[in-house]
Structure 1
Amino acid sequence: MTTPSRPIRVVVVDDHAMFRTGVRAELGAVGEGVVEVVADAADVEEAVRAVAEHTPNVVLLDVHLPGGGGVEVMRRDRTGSTRYLALSVSDAAEDVIGTIRGGARGYVTKTITGAELVDAVRRVADGDAVFSPRLAGFVLDAFAGTFAVAEVDEDLDRLTEREREVMRLIARGYAYREVAGELFISVKTVETHMSSVLRKLQLSSRHELTRWATDRRLL
């Protein structure tokens, strides 16, 4: 792939300021001359304004955002030319498939390296579809009709977006301190969310939570 004559204009959308700063720095260091971050946004309203003002080539979009989520940003886009690449901590099937159905050209997780992210941005800007390897299987299975994604999971719907993020990480075996670092929140906040998750799902332990999440293919 040849280097574009002009940098790919990117807007970074994530509700964590530290993460937005980190992405800016990483793209600046690895993608100099290839990618230019023209704006960032912390919620749906800010994202919609940034896209309208800057008409970026690509938006790096978190799935869970205050104000309606990443799909709402895509729904309100009137540029007709901007492409969306989801960049999320979540690799749950319903998030991946829902975001692609909402209009994203790709979906990668936040474990991606800076060089991989620059490559993903370039490919999406060129019109390609880009997925982290494990996530591609979800999409292929869903659109082939071999994997059914429930429109509404009443149990899951009881949880807030932040509680879902905490739930998935805890169910995967993360320690509270690791969850706090991953989500840029305090350990005390993780403990509060975990207590709420167990109460809402009527579960009594991490073990039960892991089994619950595994049965729903959320891990």
Structure 2
Amino acid sequence: MTESTAAGRPVTVVIVDDHSIFRSGLRADLDDRLHVVGEAADVDAAVAVVVQTQPDVVLLDVHLPGGGGGGGAEVVRRTAAEAPSTRFLALSVSDAAEDVVGVIRAGARGYLTKGSSGGQVSDAVVAVAGGDAVFSPRLAGFVLDAFGAAAGEQAESTDELDRLSAREREVMRLIARGYAYKEVAAELFISIKTVETHVSAVLRKLQLSSRHELTAWALERKLL
């Protein structure tokens, strides 16, 4: 929690939900540790109010109109750079695994279902403002399963990268970013022929057939 919040300042909150009645009811149910500084009903409005008010925590529904269909996760992604200190707590009627995992992958710090009481939501907001992660009990398993699988994928990626030499990794990243062979050669102070040799080795070791597959492979593993 920030120093001022810890010293007794209410946690500032923005409520994002496309149902005005729910927003009003939630606002009335939150306790005096929290201070609502804004509301929004769609993705674009949510982004604007979060950037403007810089709240400590955003209470965020996962299904929202606007924003190209990205929902609550889109709000998290679009405000990450402009409201870096704001934390997000999803609050949704949905308990579907894909909704939970999707918004957590985007950067939310917790997920509650709308069956939670005002006191439970208030406690969760204070906890998230202080840096904790909070989940409704049955939802935590989804996150553990998903990120356990992600850890396995990361380990697999590390094993694959271990097959490459340091120079091959440098060439791989540049090629995957769209550099032409001559641009890679200039960047690394090597010949174009040497670049071609390294690219052939990378594709062979990773069992890929083209630079397009290499780019997709690197993107999936967040190596760019």
Q: In the alignment, what sits opposite 2:53?
A: 54
1:35 and 2:39 matched: no
Following TM superposition, by how much is the alpha carbon of 1:144 offset from its aligned partner in structure 2, in angstroms? 1.1
Counterpart residue identity of residue 123, structure 1: A
> What number of residue pairs does the alignment pair up?
143
Q: How big is the shift at 1:79?
A: 1.2
1:110 pairs with 88, 100, 114, which one?
Answer: 114
Q: Residue 3 of structure 1: CA displacement? A: 6.5
Match of 1:16 in 2: 19
In structure 2, the CA distance between the partners of 1:4 and 1:96, relative to structure 1 (3 Å rule), is farther
Match of residue 134 from structure 2: 130
Structure-1 separation of matches of 2:124 and 2:144: 19
CA deviation profile, 1:81-133 (whole Å, cap 9, x unmatched)? 10000000000000000110010000000000111110000000000000000
CA distance in 1, matches of 2:95, 2:6: 30
What is the alpha-carbon root mean square deviation over aligned residues? 1.9
| TM-score under structure 1 length normalisation | 0.63
Stretches of structure 2 lacking an aligned partner (at least 5 in a row) = 151-224
Task: State the SS of the aligned residue for 1:20.
Answer: helix
- Rg larger in 1 or in 2? 2
Q: Which 4+ residue blocks in structure 1 deviate beyond 6 angstroms? A: none
Q: Deviation per CA, 1:126-177, whole angstroms, max 9, x where unpaired?
A: 000000000001111111129xxxxxxxxxxxxxxxxxxxxxxxxxxxxxxx
**As a proportion of its length, which structure holds more helix?**
2
Which structure 1 residue ranges, 5 or more long, are not aligned?
A: 147-219
Partner of 1:98: 102
Please name the residue that 1:74 is paired with: 76
Percent identical across equivalent pairs?
64
- State the SS of the aligned residue for 2:37: strand
Where does residue 212 of structure 1 map in the other structure? none
- Partners of 1:44 and 1:66 in 2: how far apart? 6
TM-score for both structures, normalised by structure 2: 0.61
